[in-house]
Structure 1
Amino acid sequence: MRGFDLTPYRRSTVGFDRLFDLIENNARLQQGDNYPPFNIERLSEDRYRVTLAVAGFRSDELEITAQQNLLQVSGRKEETQATDRAKFVHVGIANRSFERRFELADFVRVETADLADGLLTIELVREVPEAMKPKKIAINGGQLVEIGKDRDAA
C-alpha cells in the first residue's frame, strides 16, 4: 500500500469516504504483528466465518465485542510468575494478551462464537433490512397528468 494515492478516486466518487479511510488506516496500522493468526472465509453471499488460533486461552480469557461496523476480539492472560516460567525449557506457544479488530460492512452481525481445539470460530451474517433492499418501481401509464387536474378530466 505504500505510495498508493487514493486522491484521484476520492475526487471522482461520492459516498465512498469510509472505504477510502479504512484502506488508508489499515495501511498505516500494518505493524507486522500477526498474533493471533486468523482466517476469514466467505461461506455464501451473506455469511462469513472468522477463525482465530488462540491455543492456550480458555473461554473466560477471551472477549468478543461487536459494535456497528467493528468486531473486536481480545484475549487476556495473567502474567506468569517467574517461578512458573523457570519450569519451561522452551516456550513456543504464545501466551500473551492480544487485541484484534475487524472492520465490518454495514448490516453484518455476529451470529455465533465457538471455542474448540484452540480455535475461536466466529460466524457472521449480513442481514440487509427490507427497507434497504432494492425495489422495482412501477412506471405509470403513458398519459401525462398536469398537476392539479384529474386523469378523467384530461
Structure 2
Amino acid sequence: MPALGIEHDQNPVCGGGGLTRHLQLIRLPGGGLSMLRFFCASLLLTGLLASCTPRTSTVAGVTVTPVLIKVSEGAAAGGTLTIQGRYLGSAQTARVLIGADENGQGGTAFPVSAVQRWTDTEIVLTVPEGMPAGGSWLFVEVGGKRSTGLRVSLR
C-alpha cells in the first residue's frame, strides 16, 4: 500500500490529478492520519499567528517613535511652518509642541485650527498669534510617544 502517493505520482501535490490522489491517500492507515493531523494543526497555527500581527491603524498600539527630519525656516505669526519626518500620525491622534527644552519638557501645543495639512510624513501649520517667538525645540507627540526634536526659530 503506498504511503502518501509516492508510487502513484512523483509529485503528489502538483500535476494532473495529483492533489486529488494526495488528499485521498492522506486518509490511508499507516501514517496518513498523522499527516492529516499535522496539516490541520498547521492551518490552526497559521490562523493563530495571523491574528497576532500588529495593527498599524490604531493609535493605542503606537510602537514606533516619530522621527523629525526637517523643519522650514522660522515663520512669523500668520506664516506657514512645514515639518517633515516619519511616523507623524494624524491631526486627530497627535500634536505639535513648540517652545520645549531639548528634552521635550514644557512647550506650547499648536491648536488643531492651525493645521493646514497633516500626513504621516509632513505637517503644514499656520503659526497662530501668541506663539512664543525666538529659538526653541519642536516635537511631535503621537499617541503619547514624543518624537526626536528639532531646533526651530519663530519670528
TM-score by length of 1: 0.25
**The structure with more radius of gyration:** 2
State TM-score, norm by structure 2. 0.25
